[in-house]
Every structure is written in structure tokens, then in C-alpha cells.
Structure 1
């Protein structure tokens, strides 16, 4: 007699076996890596780096270590070359990052909007750009590169210092060897003023100032103070607000997509909180809106001659660099520049 085996469906209905297990979806959502790598230029106590450490710490703490983010300062994941961080994230070497818009502008031309000389004269103009349509457009550009931007930070307005003389007019720039980090536009801006621009990494800046290989540099005041540039012969500092350097808190799209929706929201909230904290650190002590001016007083206590340009004096620099502005506006995109100028107005 032929015995016909009951179908699997019949056995399941009779409760004699279990249905095939579903794919391990839940496990895939929670089987995170043991460590996620965060990159940032510089190190504590620089506000730029503090923002990255804060983001990593918030995410790690609020997930009880489920998403364990470790910060690698000094751009060490790319051998100290801060201009390679964006590419390294796209290649999977880096998971999280707090990026300077100056460092990523060579790969993302639209981000160069923030390097147009004297587009932003104060923090109100800066906020109008990053919090409005320009900021949203920039985030869209970043997203097309498989990176998820979550929050803005601020490295600060870049002021100029040197070991030779007071800078109050474009003529005072003539012949000075000035270090800049990256980006052909900075070479053109400094050249238009009659200076001799020298490109070098952040890691090489301090020894170059110590030996006199360069006469000066342009960086935010918080960085000047943290690195004690007054001890590196930088005795003349001019506050001219010629460009600001927004920071972007972002992570790899692949990494973001590997997190559960709840964890994605948590990572985003932590980035926004860290960004706000980082901006507060950057602006602390600058005497904005009549507030605390401890940083400015600290500069003078250290024997630094601080020259704050008037609007008319800034305009002289803006006029001489206008051809550079116009050339780069065409490269960045006329429509984006129009939006930026409208926001500033």
C-alpha cells in the first residue's frame, strides 16, 4: 500500500511542526558593529573637535553603547590630510564626521558659497544662510554624495594674524606669506591682496609659524587662543570677518540605513544638540551683541594687537577681491549665489 506523506501545510495546521522561520530581520536591525569611526580635524579643546566628541558621546551614552562611536581627532584616519575625509567616508573608511565646508568645497563646488569673500559680514548673515534655503540646498548636494547631513556647526569667522605688522588696508597685505588650509579660492583671494599664499595642512601650521616659514595665517579666534598662536610670533590680529567656515555633522548613508528608524532619529537629535553646543563654544567670549568678551580681552592680555575693521575698511578689501568673488560665483552656481545674496540682504 502506498503511503502518502501529509503536506507540510497539513502538519502546521495540526500543530505538529512550525512554519519556516522568517528572515532574521530583527537581528539585522540590531546587530550593529562594535565600533563606528568619527573623524574630525584638530583635537580638544578646540570647539571644532569638541562638537565631534560631543556627538559621539551623546550617541554612545543614549544607546547604552549599542551604537559605540569613537572619535579619531587630527584627521588621523586619513593620515592627517583633512581634505580627504569626505572621500574616505564615501569609501567606507569613515562612518561619522564633522566636516569643515572649506575642506570639502574642492569636491562639492556648491559648498564654496561660504568662501566667497565678504559675502557674510556678521553672524546674522551667517545664520541667514545656514538656517534658510541655502542651507537646505547645500544639504541636498551633500546627500547626493551618499552622505547624510544632520546638523550645522560653526568653526567661526576667519580672522587674519601675522608677525610683521598691523593689517588695516589691502596694501598692508603686500608681501606677507600667509598660510591657508585648502581651496584655490583662498589662493586667489590672498593673491588679489598682494600676499604670498602658502597652502599647508593644519598639522604643519604650528611648526611653520614657529620657524618663520610663513608670516601669518587666517583662522577663527577660538583656534588662535587654543593653539597659543601669540607664542608663535603672531602679535598682530585683524578682525575682518572675510569668510566663515560652517561645519556639517554627517554620516555615511550606508551606516545610517543600517540603523533602526528609532536609532536614526536618535543619531539625528544628538547631532543637532552637539551642533548647537559647538556653535556656542565657537562664539563664546567674542562680545557678540554686547555680551561676554573674555576672548577679546584674553588676546590683549597676551600682548596681541587686535585691530577691528570698520564696515568702510572691510569694503576696501571687498572691492579688491570682487573679481575673485565674481569668478567663483560662476563656478558655484549663479542661482545659489543669488539666493545667498538675497538671504544676506
Structure 2
């Protein structure tokens, strides 16, 4: 009898421990969030803001742990979407550029000189075209929740001012790992060279490449002028929206309440980051000029010359992106 009672107590204790473990598990869950840039940049700040809001709204029941610098994919930012789709990453605040190899529709935002201003970007992301892009992402096992913004990408180089396509002739320009970028700079007469950002700064320092393209926030925070980039052309040739997203299986495993929190906080963090990025543009540009960078702003005629030089790129890539999506986005831009 004594042995039986002892076994009963042990069984009860084990059952209680199991219940407690289950309860604690239900109370707290951590999701990994991948970003390319750390919180010195608006991009990284967007992810941190999302994490902050989630923890606050769930009182710590659900937390997001941010892994910047593409840590979860060994620095290869083009693998981020695949890693999230496969479940190696729970969530991400990612770039449309980096995800475009797996989601061709995201190349919409990289079409050269397609979106002239932030109003055009908002018309696309906030309308039917944006919904079509989100549907394309979701069809690949990732649930998109909200938009953020890395900003319009500008061109810098170490050789001289650039205000016409001929100025790019033969220049080695570092580009991200997207075929569309290769085609765009080839059409402009440059020599596009794909490399990670970790490799790009040393290459710029030594002169192995002549120039690069990035948003003003990246140029400013990363002090790209300190690696020989003394000339900057403001040409707004493409915009890079960010996307807050979660792996489909992770999403399905969450309660309705937690899904709502994740989506609402992603939207809030995205709106906060977009506003901040845009508000800081003029201040960043002033800081860059104060450091001695020569800034070139294109006239309407000069801008049109670049548009015409890349017209064939549009024609070729429209079929890859999807004519219906491109037409829907164009209509939104024209109606803005």
C-alpha cells in the first residue's frame, strides 16, 4: 500500500509538472525575426519597434527576438525568404529586392524609374496592386502583414558627377543579387557587379568598384562617403518597400488573438517607420552634403534620358513580373 501511494504521489507530481509546463508554454512564446540591417538604420528600427509593440500588447506572452545583419542566413540576404518559407526563420522584416528571386512580382518595385515619388509608392502598396503582391507572397508559404520602407535608392560613385547615362559608361557599380539590377545598369552602360554589402565596402575602399546604389539612410548611417563615394546623384530610380511577414505554419499555430496582435503591431510599426524614414530624408541629405559630398539633382530632361535608356528593361521584365500587376500599378500611379 505504501509503495502504491508513493507511486500515486509521483504520478500526480509528474502530471502536475506536465500541466505547469504546458501552461507556461502557452503563456510565453518567442519568435525569431530576421532583418538585414541593425537598429542604427530605420530598417532595423522597424523590426525593433514591432518587437516592442508585440511584447507590450501581449504582456510578454509573445515575444519577437530580432536577429539583424542576416545572421540567420549566414549573411546571405537573398536566402532570407527561402529560410522563412521553410521554417528556419519564424518571421522577418524584409526587402522586396532580396525576396524578389523567390517572388517575381516583387520586382515591380525595382522597375527603373517606374515610381517617381512617395505618393506613387503609397498608391501602389495601398491599393489593388499591393494586394496582388501580398497574394503572391502568401501563395509561397509566407503571410505578409504590413509594409515598411527602405526608401528610394540613389547613386553614388568615386569618379565624378553623373547626370546622364553616358556618365555611367564603363563604371563598375556594386548591385544586389537581382538580375533586374544587372539588366538596368547594363542598359545604362555601366558594369554591374553583384556582391554582398559585407564585401562591398572593402571593394569601394580599394577602388575595385567605382560606385553603388542605396537609400540616403544607408549612405548616411554607413558613412559611405568615407570609402571614396564623393559624388551622389539623386535620381529616385527605384523604391524598396519593406514587408513584415511570418512563416505560414507559425501563423497557423498562433491563436486568433495573437494573429491579430502581430498584424496590428506590424501595421503600426510599419507606418511609424515609413513616416520616420521620410521625415529624416532632408536632414540626412544636409548631413551628407556637409561632409563634402557633391550632390547632383536631375532636371526633368535629364531624368527622362535615364527613363528612355532603360525602356527595353521595362518591356522585358513586365512579362516576368506579370502584365496585369504592372498595368494595375501604373493605373494607380497615374491616378494618384
TM-score, length-normalised on structure 2?
0.90
Aligned residues of 1:97 and 1:250 also touching (Cα < 8 A): yes
Matched, 1:147 2:142: yes
C-alpha displacement at 1:80, in angstroms?
A: 0.4
The match for 2:313 among 324, 328, 331 is: 324
- Larger Rg belongs to: 1
Q: Which moved more, 1:199-208 or 1:148-157?
A: 199-208
Matched residue SS, 1:68? strand
The gaps in structure 1 that reach 5 residues or longer are 1-23, 287-292
Counterparts of 2:279 and 2:67, CA distance in 1: 25
Matched residue SS, 1:251? strand
C-alpha displacement at 1:223, in angstroms?
A: 0.6
Counterparts of 2:323 and 2:262, CA distance in 1: 34
Q: In the comparison of the two structures, how many residue pairs are matched?
A: 314
- CA separation of 1:32 and 1:186: change in aligned 2, threshold 3 A: farther
Aligned residues of 2:32 and 2:89 also touching (Cα < 8 A): yes
Counterparts of 2:201 and 2:271, CA distance in 1: 29
Match of 1:185 in 2: 180
Matched, 1:301 2:296: no
The gaps in structure 2 that reach 5 residues or longer are 1-18
Match of 2:330 in 1: 341
Matched, 1:213 2:208: yes
TM-score, length-normalised on structure 1?
0.88
CA RMSD, 1 decimal: 1.6
Matched, 1:163 2:158: yes
Counterparts of 1:61 and 1:68, CA distance in 2: 9
C-alpha displacement at 1:31, in angstroms?
A: 2.3
- CA separation of 1:44 and 1:220: change in aligned 2, threshold 3 A: same
Aligned residues of 2:28 and 2:60 also touching (Cα < 8 A): no
The match for 2:113 among 100, 109, 118 is: 118
Q: Which moved more, 1:60-69 or 1:71-80?
A: 60-69
Q: How do 1:170-249 and structure 2 match up within 5 A?
A: 170-249=165-244
Aligned residues of 1:41 and 1:49 also touching (Cα < 8 A): yes
Matched, 1:107 2:106: no
As a proportion of its length, which structure holds more helix?
2
Counterparts of 1:279 and 1:310, CA distance in 2: 26
Match of 1:252 in 2: 247
C-alpha displacement at 1:284, in angstroms?
A: 2.3
C-alpha displacement at 1:54, in angstroms?
A: 1.1
Matched residue SS, 1:35? strand
**Alignment deviations for residues 309-331 of structure 1 (CA, whole Å, 9 cap, x no partner):** 12221110010110011000011
Match of 1:312 in 2: 301
Match of 2:16 in 1: none
C-alpha displacement at 1:296, in angstroms?
A: 1.9
Counterparts of 1:50 and 1:183, CA distance in 2: 25
C-alpha displacement at 1:34, in angstroms?
A: 4.3
Match of 1:87 in 2: 82
Aligned residues of 1:284 and 1:295 also touching (Cα < 8 A): no
Aligned residues of 1:30 and 1:259 also touching (Cα < 8 A): no
Counterparts of 1:310 and 1:149, CA distance in 2: 37
Counterparts of 1:306 and 1:142, CA distance in 2: 37
Aligned residues of 1:39 and 1:72 also touching (Cα < 8 A): yes
Matched residue SS, 1:107? coil
Matched residue SS, 1:217? strand
Aligned residues of 2:34 and 2:92 also touching (Cα < 8 A): yes
